Amino acid sequence: MQIDLIQEARRQAEICNACRYCESYCSVFPALHRERAFADGDITQLANLCHNCRGCYYACQYTAPHEFDLNLPKALAEVRRDSWESFAWPQPVARKFHTHGSAIALALVVGLALLFVAIRSIGSAGGIGFYAALSHNAMVAIFMPAFLFPLASIGFSLRRYWQSVGGKAIKLAHVTSALRDVAKMKDLAAGHGDGCNFEDEDRFTHARRYAHQAIMYGFFLCFASTSTGTIMHYVFDIQAPYPLWSLPKIFGVTGGILLTAGCGWMAWLKLRSERELGDAGAWGGDLGFIALLGFVGFSGLVLYVLGVTAAMPTLLAFHLGAVLSFFVLTPFTKMAHGFYRLAAMVRNAQS
Amino acid sequence: MTPYDIVIIGGGNAALCAAMTAAEAGAKVLILEAAPKPYRGGNSRHTRNFRCMHSAPMWPLADAYHEDEYFADLLKVTGGKTDEHLARMAIRASEECLPWMQDHGVKFQPSLSGTLSLGRTNAFFMGGGKGLVNAYYRTAQKLGVDVLYDAPVTHLELSGDQVTGVDYTHEGAAKSVSPKAVIVASGGFQADLDWLTRAWGPAAKNFLIRGTPYNRGVVLADLLAQDVQSVGDADQCHAVAIDGRAPKFDGGIVTRLDCVPFSIVVNKNAERFYDEGEDVWPKRYAIWGRLVAAQPDQVGYVIIDAKSLELFMPSVFPPLKSDTLEGLAAQMDLPVGKLQETVAAFNAACGDTTNFHPTELDGVATTGLTPAKTNWARPITEPPFYGYSLRTGVTFTYLGLKVDANAQCHSNEGPIKNLWAAGETMAGSILGQGYLAGFGMTIGTVFGRIAGREAAKYAN
């Protein structure tokens, strides 16, 4: 962890702790007000609780040009990204993507190329539908490790996080409390329930909350689509392609629409927001990630619409290549925040 | 340039309440705010609650808070120096203000942690006063109110019984505007240290100003020079004891120190000068502003030991700390021998401390000591020892414009036809001294709305 970032966040947190005007905006302030002094782990935990809703910044009487120069959303955003990079495994790639949108684009190109090569060299082995382009076994061979590696990596990282923030044994109540808040995205609604400040200075709107929910639920639906497909394939021996009124298709199409629209909306909001109230260094990486995630959804939808045309193998390569890159990059991009946020909220439910 | 019906001088709570009310009545309004946008809102930026009468529970306020109790609370702090008619008017009007404020964008929250159980009497703004100010600016602008920042008013042209022009500067150029009506809502003069020094004497040079540096009383002085009726004395101000390391201006809420009741306080000669345990701190911090102002160099030094460190809200800057009293004395530049003597005398005068209770008057007192410490008197013995410096922090001044029940200003010949005042600049019309938490926002809201209504009526 970078000491200077933690030190700056600590300086600001101490001022906040003497003020306390913001205590009902989000989960950060009640957690902050429980402490008299802030250890490094406390700051890391506060940083990962923060959803960058900016309510505290716009309400703050101590922002620049005041000499206290408070900008807590920024200070916490920088500590937060540094914590993800510091806890990431393996370390050599930890700091390559959060701050480098171009690296994410490059990873996408590599993913696409791999899929083109796979389709060309492995081919169908006599399958139908998408399996006519790339056999089911080949897909599993590529995506099983691409799915398991990030999971293992995130697992290592969360362990380190948990140790650094002094986490205790987890009880079911902690998890349900955290999941309840995630489901409603409570911390983007502020204590008054009217949303956060993001795209139009101090105006409270639900735009970011709803965009984020579209992405999150869209992602879960896409994931549910793949999972139900897998179950139908292995448990019930029902092979793709599936009809429209099947679980994989219903989940996949609605999820794809939500994911695509949500990412587009989020990128639009982000472009209108004040860059200096967040982690300006990760601006490119964050936008690159949103674009990648949106492309995963969008390419999936296109594949659904044009899947029976001659363009299918190409479209399949685009979609699966994007999914491959997305999976592998999960521990090293903004995608990691979901795991850390949940962990931070579980930790918060413990105190 | 748009012909304005009403020009409002100032950009805080009272100004905004007046602006919204006048705009809703159909008037074309211009706000001239002296501060740049990030500092808009005057002292309202630093506020956090609104004291509100209510006859039944009214979110976020619990129970009831009746007019007579409210007025009695006010009399207690002003020692009777209160205009009863205007005060009761403000108190009665506060009840309907609460929903009005919410309709105009203000968000409330349950009573803040660490505050003196104000949940029944005071409604807290979510995010504090700047959140309120932001919401009001948005609403005002939606209502068509124009706002100029960095636009300090330099002079009001008064001829006979009306204001004929408002001179101000904007973007470095001198400008003038001739509206039908003018509302002054530009606060006190406490940020003009020269004026404060003329009123208070040289001691005022060492005062810190808790709020905005833009309340320099330019318009107030200009109007007083033209014989507009005033109220209050220039040497009356609300001052509290705050952390001596606070910024000269705009330190706001975080500079408060709540540790005095658990401490001994000495002056630069290491002598105690007042009963630190007279009452709970929220009831005494205003007295300590004046006590410290009366000490040499207008500075006090708070000393506590390890057992008291966690009994009060965290301070914005960490305390000075030493394992020995000598070490602490050296850090504070206090005479070592004298400090040891003072602490020893205090410790010897402490008695049985088993009834010590940090949040109530516990009667744990010194015996045979002058001045006595009448509550929370525990010996200063347990290292490490901690220290803070204390200085006088001025919140606002009482000298202001005298207004009537319509918030209208007067000259010696009678009412000035088109001049109203609201907020801190006329609060002296109601409060002669003392202060009740959240009452400034009540005055600003009530009289801001009255001024807006009356000015609009006149302009239409």
- B29 shares a domain with B13: yes
Residue located via tokens 């349900």: A176
Helix (H, G, I), strand (E, B) or coil at B241: strand
pLDDT digit string, tens, across residues B85-135: 999 999 999 999 999 999 999 999 977 665 556 889 999 999 999 999 999
Residue B329: give its domain's CATH number: 3.90.700.10
- B425 shares a domain with B352: no
> Phi, psi (5° rounding) for residue B164?
-110, -15
Residue A310 has a pLDDT of: 92
Residue numbers in A near B113 (CB within 8 A):
20, 23, 33
Residue B1 has a pLDDT of: 57
Kindly give the pairing relationship between strand B29-32 and strand B146-148. Answer: parallel
Burial (CB count <10 Å: 0-12, 13-18, 19+), residue B359: exposed
Confidence of residue A124 (pLDDT cuts 50, 70, 90): confident
Residue A85 has a pLDDT of: 97
Residue located via tokens 């068509």: B144
Chain B interface includes A33 (CB < 8 A)? yes
Cβ atoms within 10 Å of B150's Cβ, excluding its own: 17
- B74 shares a domain with B193: yes
Give yes or no for a contact between B427 and B13, defined as CB atoms under 8 angstroms apart: no
- B440 shares a domain with B388: no
- B10 shares a domain with B118: yes
Mean pLDDT of all residues in A178-191: 92
Q: Which spans in B226-376 are helix H?
A: 285-293, 325-332, 336-349
- B93 shares a domain with B223: yes
Distance of CA A346 to the CA centre of its chain: 17
CATH domain A93-349 topology: Fumarate Reductase Cytochrome B subunit (1.20.950)
Of B377, B393, B409, the position where a domain reaches its end is: B393
B129 and A191 within 8 Å at the Cβ level: the answer is no
Alpha-carbon torsion angle B53, B58, B60, B64, nearest 10: 50
pLDDT digit string, tens, across residues B347-370: 999 999 999 999 999 999 999 999
A58 and B131 within 8 Å at the Cβ level: the answer is yes
- B159 shares a domain with B25: yes
- B166 shares a domain with B53: yes
Residue B1 lies in a domain: no
Residue numbers in B near A194 (CB within 8 A):
107
How far apart are the CA of A66 and the nearest CA of chain B, in angstroms?
A: 8
pLDDT at A78 over 60: yes
Domain residues for the domain of B77 are 6-234+398-459
Buried/exposed B4-32: b ≥16 CB within 10 Å, e otherwise: bbbbbbbbbbbbbbbbbbbbebebbbbbb
For a pLDDT cut of 90, what percent of chain B falls above it? 90
Chain B residue whose CA is closest to A15: B316
Mean pLDDT of all residues in A110-134: 88
Helix (H, G, I), strand (E, B) or coil at B177: strand
Selection from B380, B375, B325 nearest residue B347 by Cα? B380
Give yes or no for a contact between A15 and B316, defined as CB atoms under 8 angstroms apart: yes
- B194 shares a domain with B137: yes
**What total number of domains does chain B contain?**
2
Residue B130: give its domain's CATH number: 3.50.50.60
- B201 shares a domain with B250: no
- B218 shares a domain with B192: yes
Gyration radius of chain B over CA positions:
23
Residue B236 has a pLDDT of: 87
pLDDT digit string, tens, across residues B243-300: 999 999 999 999 999 999 999 999 999 999 999 999 988 888 889 999 999 999 999 9
Residue numbers in B near A274 (CB within 8 A):
none
Q: Which of B49, B101, B112 to mutate: most A Cβ within 10 Å?
A: B112
> What is the pTM (predicted TM-score) of this model?
0.95
| Cβ partners under 8 Å of residue B52, min gap 6 | B58, B61, B65, B94, B95, B97, B98, B121, B122, B123, B438, B442
